Amino acid sequence: MALTTRNADKRMQILEATIRVLRERGLSGLKVEDVARAAEVGKGTVYLYFRDKQDLLRALVEYRTLSFYRDAEALVKAAKPFRERLRDLLSRRLEFIDEWRGLWAAVAAEAVKEDKESWLKGLHERYQAILEDFVEGGIRDGELRADLEVRLVAATLAALGCAPQLDFPREAFLDQLVEVWVKGVGA
Amino acid sequence: MALTTRNADKRMQILEATIRVLRERGLSGLKVEDVARAAEVGKGTVYLYFRDKQDLLRALVEYRTLSFYRDAEALVKAAKPFRERLRDLLSRRLEFIDEWRGLWAAVAAEAVKEDKESWLKGLHERYQAILEDFVEGGIRDGELRADLEVRLVAATLAALGCAPQLDFPREAFLDQLVEVWVKGVGA
Amino acid sequence: MALTTRNADKRMQILEATIRVLRERGLSGLKVEDVARAAEVGKGTVYLYFRDKQDLLRALVEYRTLSFYRDAEALVKAAKPFRERLRDLLSRRLEFIDEWRGLWAAVAAEAVKEDKESWLKGLHERYQAILEDFVEGGIRDGELRADLEVRLVAATLAALGCAPQLDFPREAFLDQLVEVWVKGVGA
Amino acid sequence: MALTTRNADKRMQILEATIRVLRERGLSGLKVEDVARAAEVGKGTVYLYFRDKQDLLRALVEYRTLSFYRDAEALVKAAKPFRERLRDLLSRRLEFIDEWRGLWAAVAAEAVKEDKESWLKGLHERYQAILEDFVEGGIRDGELRADLEVRLVAATLAALGCAPQLDFPREAFLDQLVEVWVKGVGA
DNA sequence: GATGAATGAGGTTTCATTCAT
DNA sequence: CATGAATGAAACCTCATTCAT
């Protein structure tokens, strides 16, 4: 138990270190040795918790992505007005993208060499499902037009938020995004 | 002259091979030797046209990105209805994203180690400018609301198009994107 | 402690292997891989102890040269008659030159690309100082003429010993060298 | 004839360029391409005059070494006092060493991979012979002691002149060398 | 003859992975 | 369990050499 806990802690510690190094040094600068140093463990220890570097990356992608999905789900189901929930979702989405510095797809590609397509598709479907729920709820509540094709609209939401080089206030940008999308598909 | 032509041709040949290999093998699978083989030249020849691998990547990013910007500019300035121009733009954007398989940011990060920020910002500003032109034109023509803050709206357009795993017809998705955005900011 | 010892040992092991390979294969035949094999370590291990090949060469030049200087100093300060000390010095000098097979200058040139001049001068000054001490002692003891300019005479000693292709007994040659120089500057 | 002359010229031009590049860039910096540029010919042209790089180096070593021997022979046979002839010889010797920047042995080692020993010995014997002639002449003329073993004394002369880092006037150094040797073996 | 674009063998170096401690 | 010294496969890159023009 204590052991399991300590192990789980160290796993996390390594995963957190990994994304930190990734952000600082980029994908080609991501060395196992640096990850170990950043996690304050020995290099060999990384291999006690992950089969190899690819396994570490796969675990990282799943850890941060599922964490994002969990948050996204909670945010869109919160007891708040529709627009606020949308704004929270998009905000968290921008945060997610920023966390990866645009490297998500590249890391994901390294993380899984076989069955890549189905793995990616599986991940994305979970997000798509969350968004479809949100859209359906919006329609039910009269916030969104009833004649929309849910899957397509959810997809436009998923497609919203590629992080441009923001040289203006993030809040204003978020407001504008919400504004556009709500006007675009709102009732 | 003939030389310049041949040289320019071979440079292109290598760049085209590079993006092909990148798409097939991913970033970590991008070996100079494979690029050379794909371009049907010797390994050393790559180094006649590019200082090193980083230089090759930088040239590739610029080549494809500027090519995209050129097309984008032409498309939004075409003599067509506003919605069609928008659709063409978004279509080309999806194509651009698909071409890189989501690796654009990662490749760009490898391509430039110093002054990265200013280089990225410089590139993005060109795109932002094209979009601002488009938005301003739309306002002038009465297609878009006049009370919009041009830069923010252009930014929402830039943020539109992260390629999700499309499991429905691309055309329908594009139509929906256009629909949402035009409704969102249209007059 | 044990570590330091083991590390120092392995460093030495690699340096000894390097000069062995250098003598056998020449400068252009000096591959890091061969050095590693000769030192009975892996190729990568060499890079644990030396930043790169140039660093290895620099360390080698310093190691063998300082070792020679240390011996030279001890020999000229030994409690022996002047002529014997001179003979021991020249003998060690011939050994040093033979050890490098005439490649000292070439290896030194590879070993240091910047500040080469000051590095070489710095090294040589240590030798010159040892010789000047020896000459001064000789004058004090009445072995050498008192009207000599110490630095110049020390320099002639430094200039003595370019290894010709010896096709006669080394001992006789050494005796002759001693004879000439002592007659030349002796009291 | 004209052709032969032009060819011989171009050969020389390349050899002169080679030693220039060697002095400037060192042995590992000696690229055929740089030699060609320095000689103001095409890279392929070098291969019209020399079988390969090794052949170029062998020709260079022979060219400069035989040139030195020719000069040395003329200098020691000149109609001048003994000491002056000795001084001229040593002066030319220092010049020769300086010309190679200490790289003579290393270049010679690259220049000949097989029969290296006999080639080096053959070259050196020519120099030894010149020096023996000089010593014999000196004895005949009563300038040198008659009880000397000619070969050994000639060898000490050959061993004289390793170029130290001269930080005092070259002329004074030369005078001192002459002084020492003449005193050492003179009548 | 003269050229220099093209080549690829072969060198240097990195870094994921192992394993003895 | 944890470690990091050691390893060598595999990547990058150089440069001697060739050959079509």
pLDDT in tens, A105-118: 999 999 998 888 89
Mean pLDDT of chain D: 92
Report helix angle D53-76 to D32-39, nearest 10: 60
Sign of CA pseudo-dihedral B92, B67, B24, B103: negative
Segment B69-95 mean pLDDT: 96
The CA–C1' separation of C164 and E16, in angstroms, is 51
Q: Check CB contact under 8 Å for A180 and B149.
A: no
The number of folded domains in chain A is 2
Token output for A139? 């329609």
Classified as helix, coil or strand, D160 is strand
**C121, C155, C164 member nearest D158 (Cβ):** C164
Q: Check CB contact under 8 Å for C121 and D152.
A: no
User: Is A55 inside any structural domain?
Assistant: no
Q: How many CB pairs under 8 A join C and D?
A: 133
Q: Exposure of A30 by Cβ count < 10 A (0-12 exposed, 13-18 middle, 19+ buried)?
A: buried
Does one domain contain both C37 and C102?
no
Distances (CA, A) of A177 to A89, A97, B82, D47: 11, 15, 21, 68
Residue D156's nearest CA partner among C181, C182, C93 is: C181
Q: Which CATH number does the domain housing residue C73 bear?
A: 1.10.357.10
User: Is B113 inside any structural domain?
Assistant: yes
Q: Check CB contact under 8 Å for D109 and C27.
A: yes
User: Is D56 inside any structural domain?
Assistant: no
- What's the domain range around D41? 1-50
Q: Partners for A (CB, 8 Å, 3+ pairs)?
A: B
Q: Which CATH number does the domain housing residue B27 bear?
A: 1.10.10.60
CB B136 within 8 A of CB B158: no
Q: Check CB contact under 8 Å for D162 and C164.
A: no
Does the C-beta of A37 come within 7 A of strand F? no
Lowest mean per-residue pLDDT among A17-26, C162-171, D19-28: C162-171
The CA–C1' separation of B42 and F21, in angstroms, is 20
Does the C-beta of C13 come within 7 A of strand F? no
Does one domain contain both D143 and D179?
yes
Query: A164 contacts in B (CB within 8 Å)?
Result: 124, 128, 155, 158-159
Q: Check CB contact under 8 Å for D162 and C165.
A: no
pLDDT in tens, A65-99: 999 999 999 999 999 999 999 999 999 999 999 99
CB A77 within 8 A of CB A69: no
The phi, psi pair for B169, rounded to 5°, reads -55, 130
Q: How far apart are CA C71 and CA C64, in angstroms?
A: 11
Mean pLDDT of chain A: 91
Classified as helix, coil or strand, B144 is strand
Does one domain contain both A157 and A126?
yes
* DSSP state at residue B148: -
Between CA C155 and CA C162, with CA C156 as vertex, the angle to 5 degrees is 105
Q: How far apart are CA C82 and CA C80, in angstroms?
A: 6
CB C10 within 8 A of CB C2: no
| CA max distance for chain B | 58
Query: B160 contacts in A (CB within 8 Å)?
Result: 159-160, 162
CB-to-strand E contacts below 7 angstroms: A 28, 30-33, 43-44, 47, 52-54; B 3, 6-7, 10, 41-45, 47-48; C 30-33, 43-44, 47, 52-54; D 6-7, 10, 36, 41-45, 47-48
Q: How far apart are CA A3 and CA A19, in angstroms?
A: 25
Token output for D155? 């060898």
pLDDT value of residue A161: 81
What is the distance between the terminal CA atoms of chain B, rounded to a whole angstrom? Answer: 53
**Chain C, nearest residue to D110 by Cα:** C28
Residuewise pLDDT in 10s, chain C (187 residues): 344 555 778 999 999 999 999 999 999 999 999 999 999 999 999 999 999 999 999 999 999 999 999 999 999 999 999 999 999 999 999 999 999 999 999 999 999 998 998 999 999 999 999 999 999 999 999 999 999 899 999 999 999 887 767 777 889 999 999 999 999 877 7
**Chain A, nearest residue to B167 by Cα:** A121
Residue C103's nearest CA partner among C163, C154, C36, C173 is: C163
Q: Check CB contact under 8 Å for D110 and C26.
A: yes
Q: Which nucleotides of F are covered by protein (CB under 7 A)?
A: 1-20
Q: Which nucleotides of E are covered by protein (CB under 7 A)?
A: 1-20
**D128, D155, D176 member nearest C153 (Cβ):** D176
pLDDT value of residue B1: 37
Segment B97-123 mean pLDDT: 93
Query: D69 contacts in C (CB within 8 Å)?
Result: none
User: Is A170 inside any structural domain?
Assistant: yes
Classified as helix, coil or strand, B16 is helix
Segment D116-145 mean pLDDT: 94
Q: How far apart are CA B3 and CA B6, in angstroms?
A: 5
Sign of CA pseudo-dihedral A157, A163, A165, A166: positive
Does one domain contain both B146 and B178?
yes
Does one domain contain both D73 and D24?
no
Check CB contact of C69 with chain D, cutoff 8 Å.
no
Does one domain contain both C16 and C72?
no
pLDDT in tens, B149-180: 999 999 999 998 877 677 778 899 999 999 99
Residue B32 pLDDT class (50, 70, 90 cuts): very high
Residue whose token pair is 């001048």: D80
User: Is A151 inside any structural domain?
Assistant: yes
CB D156 within 8 A of CB C177: yes
Give A45 to chain B, closest Cα distance, Å: 24
Between CA C44 and CA A8, with CA B28 as vertex, the angle to 5 degrees is 80
pLDDT value of residue C169: 87
Lowest mean per-residue pLDDT among A25-29, A36-40, B1-5, C20-24: B1-5
Residue D159's nearest CA partner among C87, C161, C105, C181 is: C161
The CA–C1' separation of C19 and E5, in angstroms, is 39
Q: Across the strands, what pairs with C144?
A: C186
Does one domain contain both A79 and A122?
yes
Does one domain contain both A86 and A165?
yes
Tell me, what amino acid is at B24?
A: E
Token output for D93? 């010797």
pLDDT in tens, A124-154: 999 999 999 999 999 999 999 998 899 999 9
pLDDT value of residue D49: 96
Give C161 to chain D, closest Cα distance, Å: 5
Does one domain contain both A35 and A87?
no
What is the C-alpha radius of gyration for chain A, rounded to an integer number of angstroms?
A: 19
Residue A59's nearest CA partner among A94, A15, A6 is: A15
Secondary structure of chain C as H, E, C letters: CHHHHHHHHHHHHHHHHHHHHHHHHCCCCCCHHHHHHHHCCCHHHHHHHCCCHHHHHHHHHHHHHHHHHHHHHHHHCCCCCHHHHHHHHHHHHHHHHHHHCCCHHHHHHHHCCCCHHHHHHHHHHHHHHHHHHHHHHHHHCCCECCCCCHHHHHHHHHCECCCCCCCCCHHHHHHHHHHHHHHHHEC
Query: C106 contacts in D (CB within 8 Å)?
Result: 26-27, 102-103, 105-107
Q: Exposure of A16 by Cβ count < 10 A (0-12 exposed, 13-18 middle, 19+ buried)?
A: middle
Give A4 to chain B, closest Cα distance, Å: 34
**B128, B149, B162 member nearest A159 (Cβ):** B162
Check CB contact of D120 with chain C, cutoff 8 Å.
yes
**Chain B, nearest residue to A97 by Cα:** B162
Q: Across the strands, what pairs with C160?
A: D160
Does one domain contain both A78 and A111?
yes
Residue D114 pLDDT class (50, 70, 90 cuts): confident
Would you tell me which residues 87-116 of chain B have a C-beta closer than 8 angstroms to some C-beta of chain A? 101-107, 109-110
Query: C120 contacts in D (CB within 8 Å)?
Result: 165
pLDDT value of residue C7: 76
User: Is C146 inside any structural domain?
Assistant: yes
User: Is C61 inside any structural domain?
Assistant: no
User: Is A61 inside any structural domain?
Assistant: no
Give C62 to chain D, closest Cα distance, Å: 17
Query: D124 contacts in C (CB within 8 Å)?
Result: 164-165
Q: Exposure of B18 by Cβ count < 10 A (0-12 exposed, 13-18 middle, 19+ buried)?
A: buried
Check CB contact of C167 with chain D, cutoff 8 Å.
yes
Instruction: Among all protein residues, pick the one whose CA is nearest to the C1' atom of E18.
Output: A44
Token output for D9? 């010229």
Q: Check CB contact under 8 Å for C101 and D109.
A: yes
Q: Is the pLDDT of residue D104 over 60?
A: yes
The CA–C1' separation of C17 and E4, in angstroms, is 41
The CA–C1' separation of C45 and F5, in angstroms, is 9
Tell me, what amino acid is at A175?
A: D
DSSP track, chain A: -HHHHHHHHHHHHHHHHHHHHHHHH-STT--HHHHHHHTTS-HHHHHHHSSSHHHHHHHHHHHHHHHHHHHHHHHHTSSS-HHHHHHHHHHHHHHHHHHHTT-HHHHHHHH-SSSHHHHHHHHHHHHHHHHHHHHHHHHHTTSB-TTS-HHHHHHHHHTBT------S-HHHHHHHHHHHHHHHHB-
Does one domain contain both B128 and B179?
yes
CB A81 within 8 A of CB A75: no
Does one domain contain both D16 and D92?
no
Q: Check CB contact under 8 Å for D163 and C159.
A: yes
